[in-house]
Chain A
Amino acid sequence: MKITRIALAAAVMTAGAAQAAEVTPAEVQFDEYGAVEVSLSGAEGNPENGAAIMTSRGKGNCIACHAVTALNDAPFHGEVGPTLDGVGEYRTAEELRGIVANAKMTFEGSVMPAFYKTSGFIRPGNAYTGKAAKEEDLTPILSAQEIEDVVAYLLTLKES
């Protein structure tokens, strides 16, 4: 009984701590080159999860536009963006975090969507229904932790 209560209290505390450390989409600080210094979730990213997000249509769907040799098990890689092979070699975690959160801060006018942005859209929809969004502020396409997971995965792409 006592143990459960302590465990519960601990769980509540960690949840609280994680929340305090999470940077909301409105709070993200981009430097003048579009890079983001601190982890958005306050935690480490999980590269395996990152790979899954990159190939999942409902999540990042990054391979719709980018080819990644290491993800060749997933069919159909796009050609709209550059290949991401070797990107972990020449880009830092901070640069990659900024690009995934909002690529337009790094590449002006980029066609790459902003994955951690919730307002300022024209006719925002309710996901892929074609109907109007229900809330004023949308849910970002990826969560803070999912962005960190994708960044962790990109950093594993060392050789081109």
Chain B
Amino acid sequence: MNNKAMTAIAAMLIAAGPMAVAGGADDDKLVINGEIEMISKAAAPDHLDGALDEVISGWHFRTDETQSLEIDDFDNPAMLFVDQAIDAYDVVEGEAGESCASCHEGVENFAGLTAKMPKIDEDGKLVVMEDLINECRTERMQADEWKWSGNDMQSMVALISLQSRGMPMDVAIDGAAAPYWEQGKEMYYTRYGQLELSCANCHEDNYGNYIRADHLSQGQTNGFPTYRLKQAKLISKHNRFRGCIRDTRAETFAEGSDEFRALELYVASRGNGLSVETPAVRQ
């Protein structure tokens, strides 16, 4: 399977070449493995106050070739990483002699978790999936923490999120989450860097338009971590945020920073109603 998938990708990369397909989101239906019907377009959540009519998965802005890699798990190159995480889930590591499985049993017990992430923990702090995983590793397993955007971490985030695939995103933005959400919203509309561009300038004002070779989507995070063909690996949300801010000729924030946690909550809330699509495939 591995080999076949890799050859298919290589062939597609060559075939894709320079090709511009004008227009906004397409009308294709996103159904995975011929059976999981995804909500890839939904009425915009109320908190957007009419900034968008509809929220749309990034899948609709990709070429047919890239889209096709996501609709069948045998073609989806991200599944190689998910397989690695399935193995890692059972491995005993650290002083405590535990594995993920020894505490959590089957990974399917995590169904629904990603649809609610990020969330507020018992201490009132905003946490994202990487925080939960590293907390288990350092405190419960007494093992080393995983690097934020490294393969081990993002493969495990993908495996856990896959358990929620198809469920609509539904992150809470009220109560203790409210101040973090406000902070993230503020960031989303801040025009960073020498190019003075905000997230909204590209992903709210201009989604559907080409910016040079890139077809701008709404910058939704419901498919993360995504497999990026260009980098041939899983890309974390914070890594994507960092790249987008860097491209405005700005000083970016660090992966795993409190700023990016807040931004992650806000961006996730803009996708409330869209199915969890992890692991998505992007160009």
Contacting residue for B194 out of A63, A75, A124, CB 8 A: A124
Chain A contacts for B20, CB-based, 8 A: 76
Which residues of B (195-240) have their CB < 8 Å from a CB of A?
195-197, 201, 205-206, 209-213, 216
Chain A contacts for B248, CB-based, 8 A: 125
Q: Is the CB of A64 within 8 A of B201?
A: no
Q: Is the CB of B251 within 8 A of A125?
A: yes
A51→B193 CA distance, assembly (Å): 25
User: Is A5 part of the contact surface with B, judged by Cβ < 8 Å?
Assistant: no
Specify the main secondary structure of chain A where it touches its partner: loop
Q: Is the CB of A61 within 8 A of B250?
A: no
Q: Which residues on A are within 8 Å of B, measured CB to CB? A: 61, 63-65, 75-80, 111, 113-114, 117, 121-133, 138, 141
A127→B201 CA distance, assembly (Å): 20
Q: Is the CB of B212 within 8 A of A76?
A: yes
Chain A contacts for B242, CB-based, 8 A: 130
Q: Is the CB of A130 within 8 A of B195?
A: no
Q: Which residues on B are within 8 Å of A, measured CB to CB? A: 18, 20, 22, 190-197, 201, 205-206, 209-213, 216, 242, 245-252
Chain B contacts for A138, CB-based, 8 A: 194
Taking the closest CB of chain B, its distance from the CB of A88, in whole angstroms, is 23
Q: Is the CB of A78 within 8 A of B194?
A: no
Chain A contacts for B245, CB-based, 8 A: 123, 130
A105→B250 CA distance, assembly (Å): 22
Chain A contacts for B210, CB-based, 8 A: 76-80
A126→B252 CA distance, assembly (Å): 10
Taking the closest CB of chain A, its distance from the CB of B230, in whole angstroms, is 15
Q: Is the CB of A123 within 8 A of B192?
A: yes
Taking the closest CB of chain B, its distance from the CB of A97, in whole angstroms, is 19
